[in-house]
Copies of this chain bind each other. A is one copy, B any other.
Amino acid sequence: MTDPFVVIGGDAAGLSAASKYRRESPARDVVVFEQGSWVSYAHCGTPYFIKGDVEHLRDLQSLSPRDIEERGIDLRRDHEVTAIDTKSDVITVVNNGESFEYPYEELLIATGARAISAPIEGADLDTVFTLHGLPDATALRSFLTPPAEFDSANLGGGAALTTSVAEQYGAMQPPETIAIVGGGYVGVEMAEAFSAWDCAVHLFQRPERLLPAFGTAVGDAIASTLKKAGVTLHLNEEVERLTETDGQLDDIVYGGGNRLNVDAVLIGIGIRPNVELLTETSIELGTTGAVAVDEYGQTNVENVYAAGDVAELKQIVTGETTWSPLGLPANRAGRAIGATVGGSPTQVGHVAETAMLKAFELGCGRTGVLEHDRAEAAGFDPITKTITAGSRSGYYPGAEETTVTLTADQKSGQLLGGSLVGADRAAVRINTIATALGAGMTVGELEQQDLGYAPPFSPVWDPVLVAAKVLNGKL
Mark A residues whose CB is within 8 Å of B. Answer: 12, 42, 44-45, 48, 53-54, 59-60, 62, 316, 326-329, 331-332, 349-358, 363, 365, 367, 393-397, 425, 427-432, 434-436, 438-439, 441, 445-446, 448-458, 460-462, 464
When A42-B455, A393-B42 are in contact, do A435 and B439 touch as well, CB less than 8 Å? yes
A-B pairs with lowest CB-CB distance, top 6? A439-B439, A356-B454, A356-B452, A352-B450, A59-B395, A435-B435
Among B53, B439, B441, B456, contact of A358 (Cβ-Cβ < 8 Å): B456
When A428-B428, A429-B431 are in contact, do A45 and B396 touch as well, CB less than 8 Å? yes
Q: How many copies does the complex hold?
A: 2
9 CB contacts below 8 A, A to B, read: A54-B396, A328-B450, A331-B460, A355-B454, A431-B451, A434-B452, A435-B436, A438-B439, A438-B449
Among B350, B358, B453, B457, contact of A327 (Cβ-Cβ < 8 Å): B453
Cβ of B453 and Cβ of A434 under 8 Å apart?
Answer: no
Q: Closest chain B residue to A53 by CB distance?
A: B397
Cβ of B45 and Cβ of A356 under 8 Å apart?
Answer: no
Cβ of B331 and Cβ of A461 under 8 Å apart?
Answer: yes
Residue among A62, A363, A452 with most chain B CB within 10 A:
A452
Task: Specify which chain B residues have a CB less than 8 angstroms from the CB of A354 in the assembled complex.
Answer: 450-452
Cβ of A428 and Cβ of B60 under 8 Å apart?
Answer: no
A375 to chain B, nearest CB (A): 18
CA distance A435 to B448 in the complex (A): 10
Task: Specify which chain B residues have a CB less than 8 angstroms from the CB of A349 in the assembled complex.
Answer: 448, 450
A143 to chain B, nearest CB (A): 21
Q: Closest chain B residue to A398 by CB distance?
A: B53
CA distance A396 to B327 in the complex (A): 16
CA distance A421 to B42 in the complex (A): 26
